Structure 1
């Protein structure tokens, strides 16, 4: 697969990281295989997660093909970039096509990035996971790599203005590969993946260098001002209702 667009986009991102003087801490990068397919499962807390998620794989000299909303591929500005980087459009009305495209990428030895929560978590804690992640890994015969991002929500997330303040700490943590087979129950395998990532998220939050009490970007369970998971679920339902009303 020829990559004429991805390298200059990476160079631009690295320049932006330098200008912003982001204090990026990557751990577990040795778990990213240098060859062969693997499915990277990421938590979802911001609109820039795919940028920093891809950065986590760079020490292994690998490019990640992310599964992303189809609307981004139709956008006048992001569309050419998303297509040029061979990311995978996800149409929720016709998800089978994107699922099969991801399988083809994995079987061809690519890294595919997926957000098992499907949408951004307003609580910044893990939402419920969809089973598609483990089902894809099992069908393609590749491992799942759990990845946790933290600090990206402070830059650009739901319900808050963009804030690209300099010197911000960003944490990227990659866990050991998880093997999933066709014989595994998808529900049980998904629960194991979520439990693993929940533990990684807890460790990442606790080791993050900034822990200001009441901060809007810190989960309520850690003394922050973010919505609780229950409050976040209510906000998600209200957002979906507003979208449905606009469509009508």
Structure 2
């Protein structure tokens, strides 16, 4: 079936990126499979992360179907677009339907995008991963595709105003080698291995990032362990609990 909506949306996103004059540093796109199913797994630090993950799949001419919370699909603007692009709504109180939908898509050769932290990490460090991505890959017999983003939080993230000015912000994307998973492997062990791989990619993106905080007022986007003023993981967890 022809893709009538997804390609034009990608075109609009690329136009927006040019207008913002974003400076992309993307490495590892050769690891995105050119055919067949895969579960793309990324860290989650900003509201636009799914756009940037999808961008990294374009050199392989692949479209990524993301699993996203159901409320996005109920919005009068984003809802019709999300459905037309064949993304997958997730009702967290009854996730079996979304899981089966994703599994069927993987078996038909699609790439499914998953943020296993489930929510944006306001500490900008990796939270614990849920095991759903590993279980999907195992049951569908497809590889996991680890990815890490850095800099996207500076555009739009939880607890901060959008900054969509023409500001030449750098955005770093790292794609790792596909991780084959055995059907008999323990899903929790696979998830730990996956998280470690995403952590390695994230640290590589952070080391290569060409901009450092200009002072205390500009260090909100830098994790505490790197000298920034973002909340620590414990502080972020406490805020979420409240």
**Which TM class, normalised by the smaller chain length?**
over 0.9
Alpha-carbon distance in 2 for matches of 1:20, 1:230: 34
The match for 1:218 is 222
Corresponding residue SS for 1:54 = helix
Post-superposition offset of 1:179? 1.0
Taking the TM superposition and a 5 Å limit, the aligned residue runs for 1:126-165 are 126-165=126-165
Pick aligned residue for 2:236 from 218, 227, 232: 232
Write the deviation string for residues 44-84 of structure 1: whole angstroms up to 9, x where unpaired. 00110011110010000100000001111111010010000
Q: Distance in 2 between matches of 1:80 and 1:3?
A: 14
Give the count of matched residue pairs: 238
Question: Which residue is 1:241 aligned to?
Answer: none
My pick for the range that moved more, 122-131 or 211-220, is: 211-220
Could you tell me how far apart the structure 2 residues matched to 1:145 and 1:194 are?
11
Gap runs ≥5 in structure 1: 239-248
1:26-105 correspondence to structure 2 within 5 Å: 26-105=26-105
- C-alpha deviation, 1:206, in angstroms: 1.4
> Which residue pairs with 2:191 in the alignment?
190
Normalising by structure 1, we get a TM-score of 0.94
**Cα deviation, residue 86, structure 1:** 0.2
Q: Does 1:106 align with 2:145?
A: no
2:125 alignment partner, SS class: coil
Match of 1:177 in 2: 178
- Following TM superposition, the consecutive aligned residue runs of length 4 or more in structure 1 with deviations greater than 6 angstroms are none
Q: How far does the alpha carbon of each residue in 1:131-187 deviate from its partner, in whole angstroms, 9 at most, with x for none?
A: 001000000000000010111100110111101132110011100011112210111
Show the counterpart of 1:12: 12
* Root mean square deviation of aligned Cα: 0.9
Superposed displacement of residue 2, structure 1? 3.0
Q: Show the counterpart of 1:243.
A: none
TM-score (norm 2): 0.97
How far 1:200 sits from its partner (Å)? 1.2
CA distance in 1, matches of 2:197, 2:78: 33
Q: Extract unaligned runs of 5+ from structure 2.
A: none
Report the Cα distance in structure 2 between the residues aligned to 1:42 and 1:61, rounded to whole angstroms. 19
Q: Which whole-Å CA distance do the structure 1 matches of 2:240 and 2:211 have between them?
A: 27
Match of 1:22 in 2: 22
